[in-house]
Structure 1
Amino acid sequence: MEQPGAGAADAVAMDPSPSPSMAAPQAPPVVEWPEGGALTRDWVAGLASTLDWCSRHLPADRLPAVLPPALVQRLVLAAAAILHREPNLVRVDPRPGQSVVVVGDVHGQLHDVIFLLRDAGFPSEERVFVFNGDYVDRGAWGLETLLLLLAWKVLLPNCVFLLRGNHESKYCTSVYGFEKEVMTKYKDQGPQVYRKFLRCFEDLPLATIIAGCVYTAHGGIFRGTIVLPSKRSKKAKKGRKNKADFTVDTMSIRLGSLDELLKARRTVLDPPWEGQNLIPGDVLWSDPSLQMGLSPNQERGIGLLWGPDITQQFLRTNNLKLIIRSHEGPDARDKRHDLLRIDKGYTIDHDVECGKLITLFSAPDYPQFQASEERYNNCGAYIVLHPPDFASPVFHSFEAVKPRPPAHPFYDFEEVIDSDEELNLDAMDSGTSSQ
């Protein structure tokens, strides 16, 4: 059978925003696994164009007609097997002449991801990609976006690195749309497909060190102290409902080490907000602050806030020059008047003696769905780190691909809280939705 991506589909891949007045091209063939068993560049390019075509011309629940559930599960399992073998902290050591592209949150904005890949230059022996989490939720094409990136991972496992974001969890996907998206698109097969994605989430690494001098993680810094809940907090846990009840002994918090990060247990769907292993929750949920020191992240109810002094300590201790994290979009920064807005897709939050802390966000015109008519109209951005030092980031801002294909949200964006704040921690404990 003809491989996906032939003919008209190739044109769609090259131009992710064809005029809506154009006649729909002939439907692409059903995607099948390559006969030889190994993915090729042509196959991945074909998958991208097929996913793009389906997003523009098929109702969401018709996707299985082109992308069968068996193919989806095989791709997810193939990627998960590779990810599982990677450590919590992946050392990305570029070959001579290789540059590194770092990408922040993309949140199911498939067409912007297709544009970004083409604009930055596709993964290759000359170009390594590090994706910093939050592939799903909030956008209408989380499934397609994640599948495309997993395909690149399977094709080029040493040139594409996928880290975990806080939305790669059962709790967030049950609240912010990805679970419902999978169920809508795959119906009877939905529960089985969704479970495969959840298992894959558990295998995603937590952080990278690029060229020995750049630390990347979705949220950022993490603690090293094992904090055990007090008797009082155990009794209160049953009735805890919001951030006001989030209490940690701040005297017990110290900055964690890379060795502790390597030893952390990452294979949990919903990282703990208290107990013996807080490192994954910190890495995925923490935020920078202009206040000195380490403190509980009261606003989110999980993770930490850390100041410029902690950035300096982390960089100096580990002989690093940059921290690149993501996790905060324009809606989050709109509520944080102590830090810079993220309209260009990036901010430099800490500039200290040893280096810089950068927040990178790669979903332009975000969120896709919102209750108010006034939009942030933010750009997305990606960073290119060039040899030989890799410590002088080059920022590339880009606007959203317009117009987006018509789509319906998979969550109630008028009811669901913004920016992942005020978590229902009881729901996270039980693995159920707060809705």
Structure 2
Amino acid sequence: MTVITEELKAKAEEIKNEANVCFKEKRFSAAIEKYTEAIEINSNVASYYTNRAFCHLKMESYGYAISDSNLALKIDPNFTKANYRRASANMALGNFKEALKDLKIVSKRAPNDKDAKSKYEECAKIVRRIDFEKAIENNEQKQSVASKLDVDAISVDPSYDGPRINDETKEVDLPFVKALVHHFKGQKKIHKKYAFMIVLAVYKFMTDAPSLIDVKIPADGKLTVCGDVHGQFYDFINIFETNGYPSEKHAYLFNGDFVDRGSFSVEVILTLFAYKCLYPGHLFLARGNHETDNMNKVYGFEGEVKAKFSDMMFNLFSETFNALPLAHVIENKIFVTHGGLFSRDNVTLDEIRKIDRIGQGQPGSDGLMCELLWSDPQPEHGRSASKRGVGIQFGPDVTKNFLETNDLEMVIRSHEVKEDGYVIEHDGKCVTVFSAPNYCDTVGNKGALINITPDLKKEYITFSAVVSISNV
């Protein structure tokens, strides 16, 4: 056992202070390295672990944050900050009951902490609502919103000056979609009747599709693959304005996480759904980990939909998200999914195609569906526990096995912020693409997209955030 001298303790404190400076400068990866260095010198200080946990929270590595909080509580079971950090991580993962246990402890120990009290009340409210909803489901057969919704019965006031879908054809056409985009640019709301019509049409289309979709690139055109856009409407529309709008010659594949975080998730998802109605064979949408109820409760989409429309509208979105496919294969060679690969080798495309995503609904905490939405690549061979606390981390050998098993050439996934918008890993066989520049208005990253031609040549394009009228 190493004796920790006063000199070593002082050295660890000096490094911790350097880490604190990195944290204040929002250099979270550098701060993590420094806190880790301090821990390696003196592993008996609980605050080193909670400081590192805070960095992991900022990096969305919730599994690591929980692990560090546990280590801090092992050193000092009464270290309240560790309970608070663990609660924050569990809330971020949608583990509300686990979070509530820690928040009760924090509230008792620090009754005058307004932030802790607010988070406790928020979490308790969510837990009560979840329990209430489960009780209702247990007492009566839950009826699908899609099955009982009668859009024809919804009237539109003559004073409504927004885009309209033709009452006779009920079809989403190009003039409507163009008018819709213009309407949203002006931060105006579409009438609920037309919003319901768009979402319902996509729901009906998606329920007939398998969990894995085969994609063909237009023979005389291209396919653009985009990653997370997270409700950043003006950055999202900037993709179309600079790279070309969807058409029969220019297909798009948006690889999940359309909503949450940003302030205009409703506008982003309705625009995507409208284009899906317009070009069903040329606009592809994959489910991300944020197209789930737990994430939507925490990160804003549920509240935004209910504020702009209603509970019923959110429930219809939830049903539609359950119907979104989990993966795509481009020209039989490029596998595209939001998160990543699996906790076992030799998973086949046919297995993925047959996942009962609609019957399962929410992805749960393990299994193929969960891993498709949550997993991340790692540079080391093999597999390890997820830094997020859900899914796994997979190495180059795992990618190689999956590609060889299914006669594929590469994996494209999203799910992670990258400084330059994209990163190529695993000997060029695994690409991450992220399309929300300056994520959360704070990170400063570029966004990226991938243009792919029929001969599978790839062009990586990066772009910066635009200045919208919402943040001038």
Normalised TM-score (structure 2): 0.64
State the shift of 1:406 in Å.
4.1
Instruction: Identify the residue that residue 270 of structure 1 maps to in structure 2.
Output: 362
Q: Pick from 198, 203, 214: which aligns with 1:75?
A: 198
Cα 1:311–1:254 change in 2 (3 A) is closer
Instruction: Identify the residue that residue 63 of structure 2 maps to in structure 1.
Output: none
Instruction: Identify the residue that residue 405 of structure 1 maps to in structure 2.
Output: 470
Instruction: Identify the residue that residue 445 of structure 2 maps to in structure 1.
Output: 378
On the 8 A contact 1:345/1:397 being kept in 2, the answer is yes
- Structure 1 residues 39-188: aligned runs within 5 Å: 39-54=172-187, 63=189, 67-186=190-309
Instruction: Identify the residue that residue 439 of structure 2 maps to in structure 1.
Output: 366
1:387 aligns with 2:387: no
- Structure 1 residues 345-360: aligned runs within 5 Å: 345-351=421-427, 355-360=428-433
Q: Deviations 1:111-133 (Å, cap 9, x if unpaired)?
A: 11111012221111211111100
On the 8 A contact 2:345/2:398 being kept in 1, the answer is no
1:343 aligns with 2:419: yes
Is the partner of 2:186 in helix, strand or coil? helix
State the shift of 1:94 in Å.
2.3
On the 8 A contact 2:436/2:446 being kept in 1, the answer is yes
Q: Deviations 1:207-248 (Å, cap 9, x if unpaired)?
A: 00001111100001134xxxxxxxxxxxxxxxxxxxxxxxxx
- Structure 1 residues 289-304: aligned runs within 5 Å: 289-297=378-386, 299-304=387-392
For 1:345 and 1:79, the matched residues in 2 are separated by: 29
**Which runs of 4 or more aligned residues in structure 1 lie more than 3 Å from their structure 2 counterparts after TM superposition?**
none
On the 8 A contact 1:34/1:43 being kept in 2, the answer is no
State the shift of 1:28 in Å.
8.4
Instruction: Identify the residue that residue 305 of structure 1 maps to in structure 2.
Output: 393
Calculate the aligned-residue CA RMSD, in Å.
Answer: 1.7
For 1:348 and 1:47, the matched residues in 2 are separated by: 36
1:282 aligns with 2:374: no
Give ranges in structure 2 of 5+ residues lacking alignment: 1-158
For 2:186 and 2:316, the matched residues in 1 are separated by: 24
Is the partner of 2:182 in helix, strand or coil? helix
Q: Deviations 1:301-333 (Å, cap 9, x if unpaired)?
A: 22111001111111222221121100011xxxx
The AA in structure 2 aligned to 1:47 is L
State the shift of 1:376 in Å.
2.5
Identical aligned residues as a percent: 36
Q: Which has the higher contact order (CA 8 A, sep 6+)?
A: 1
For 2:292 and 2:348, the matched residues in 1 are separated by: 24
Instruction: Identify the residue that residue 419 of structure 1 maps to in structure 2.
Output: none
On the 8 A contact 1:103/1:129 being kept in 2, the answer is yes
On the 8 A contact 1:93/1:211 being kept in 2, the answer is yes
Q: In terms of Rg, which structure is larger?
A: 2
The AA in structure 1 aligned to 2:323 is D
The AA in structure 2 aligned to 1:138 is R
Q: Deviations 1:386-405 (Å, cap 9, x if unpaired)?
A: 122x1x32111111111451
For 1:287 and 1:46, the matched residues in 2 are separated by: 38
Instruction: Identify the residue that residue 24 of structure 1 maps to in structure 2.
Output: none
Is the partner of 2:162 in helix, strand or coil? coil
The AA in structure 1 aligned to 2:383 is L
Give ranges in structure 1 of 5+ residues lacking alignment: 1-26, 224-252, 330-341, 369-374, 408-435
On the 8 A contact 1:170/1:269 being kept in 2, the answer is no
On the 8 A contact 2:199/2:273 being kept in 1, the answer is yes
Is the partner of 2:332 in helix, strand or coil? coil
Q: If each structure's helix is expressed as a fraction of its own residues, which one has the higher value?
A: 2
Cα 1:28–1:48 change in 2 (3 A) is farther
For 1:311 and 1:363, the matched residues in 2 are separated by: 25
On the 8 A contact 2:218/2:251 being kept in 1, the answer is no
Q: Pick from 147, 150, 163: which aligns with 1:31?
A: 163
- Structure 1 residues 177-326: aligned runs within 5 Å: 177-186=300-309, 190-223=310-343, 253-267=344-358, 268-274=360-366, 278-297=367-386, 299-326=387-414
Q: Deviations 1:122-154 (Å, cap 9, x if unpaired)?
A: 111211111100010000000110000000000
For 1:406 and 1:69, the matched residues in 2 are separated by: 26
Normalised TM-score (structure 1): 0.69
- Structure 1 residues 8-19: aligned runs within 5 Å: none
Q: Deviations 1:349-374 (Å, cap 9, x if unpaired)?
A: 221xxx52100000011113xxxxxx
Is the partner of 1:367 in helix, strand or coil? helix
Stretch of structure 1 that moved more, 79-88 or 172-181: 79-88
For 1:77 and 1:403, the matched residues in 2 are separated by: 30
Cα 1:304–1:404 change in 2 (3 A) is farther
State the shift of 1:296 in Å.
3.5
Instruction: Identify the residue that residue 20 of structure 2 maps to in structure 1.
Output: none
For 1:174 and 1:319, the matched residues in 2 are separated by: 39
Instruction: Identify the residue that residue 11 of structure 1 maps to in structure 2.
Output: none
Is the partner of 2:317 in helix, strand or coil? helix
For 1:86 and 1:168, the matched residues in 2 are separated by: 17
The AA in structure 2 aligned to 1:380 is G
Is the partner of 2:253 in helix, strand or coil? strand
For 2:351 and 2:245, the matched residues in 1 are separated by: 34
On the 8 A contact 2:217/2:453 being kept in 1, the answer is no
Q: Number of residue pairs matched? A: 312
State the shift of 1:270 in Å.
2.4
State the shift of 1:258 in Å.
1.1
Is the partner of 1:113 in helix, strand or coil? helix
